[in-house]
Amino acid sequence: MLNSQRKELIETLRKKGITSDLVLDAIKNVNREDFVPDIMKIHAWEDVPLPIGNGQTISQPYTVAFMTSLLDVKKNDKILEIGTGSGYQAALLNYLGAQVYSIERSIELYNSFLKLMDKLQLRIMVRLGDGTIGWNDFAPYDKIIVTASSPTIPKSYFSQLKIGGKIVIPIGDRFQQEMQVVEKLTGNDYKMESYPNFKFVPLVGIDGWKSE
């Protein structure tokens, strides 16, 4: 990896509207090469999604930076991530000082991230299973981030979120989604915002899409 490639990516993200220095610093310092297959490493610092096996992808750095900015991560936030995939998003949240709980439904991706965590000495709680039901054992969370797209927001996320907490999730059909940001104002009052034009793999589970 060349330092110039990292700098170029950060410049690209700034030009696309990412303003958080904390997020940009995390993108610069978490080595995306560690999270992609060997054959893809030469593309790791390009602003593109890349295949990670099992028909899944590591998201484009811009999308990761945008979602992470929306999440407004604070040190020691307890964050639930749905869709561990390569583990890159989880590692970024961890770099920003969050306690990360992440769920993956693919056993192959789950196992390869366990190995990578060991190699990189990352302290992230991961679970194999259906993330559409959340992870009640450690709830409530300050933030919930979903890195696969769903037709609706799974109900469990509302109850597993703290008051004052946020959910960031792509919602839409199979072809296009809006990034929805939900803020829990009181026990049953929520503020919603959305940002158009995203494309994610499906969130497959009991309270998401029923098939790939």
144 is a contact residue toward ligand SAM (CB under 6 A): no
Residues present in the chain in total? 212
The residue within the footprint of ligand SAM, chosen from 86, 94, 177, 180 (CB under 6 A), is 86
Cβ contact 35:1 at 8 Å: no
106 is catalytic: no
Q: Which stretch binds ligand SAM (CB under 6 A): 18-26, 174-182, 189-197, 201-209?
A: 201-209
Cβ-proximal residues to 85 (8 Å cutoff; 6+ apart), any chain: 52, 56, 57, 58, 104, 109, 113, 147
Report phi then psi at 92, rounded to 5: -65, -45
Cβ at position 148, least distance to ligand SAM in Å: 4
Report phi then psi at 39, rounded to 5: -65, -20
Q: Catalytic pick from 59, 86, 150, 156? A: 59
Rg of the Cα atoms in the chain? 16
The residue within the footprint of ligand SAM, chosen from 30, 44, 56, 157 (CB under 6 A), is 56
Q: How far is Cα of residue 189 from the mean position of the Cα atoms in its chain? A: 25
Of the candidates 15, 12, 143, 121, the residue with the CA atom closest to the CA atom of residue 75: 143
Cβ at position 103, least distance to ligand SAM in Å: 5
172 is a contact residue toward ligand SAM (CB under 6 A): no
198 is a contact residue toward ligand SAM (CB under 6 A): no
Specify the residue, 165 or 205, whose C-beta has the smaller distance to ligand SAM. Answer: 205
List of residues contacting ligand SAM (CB under 6 A): 56-59, 82-83, 85-86, 88-89, 103-106, 109, 130-132, 147-148, 200-201, 203-205, 208
Please give the positions annotated as active site.
Answer: 59
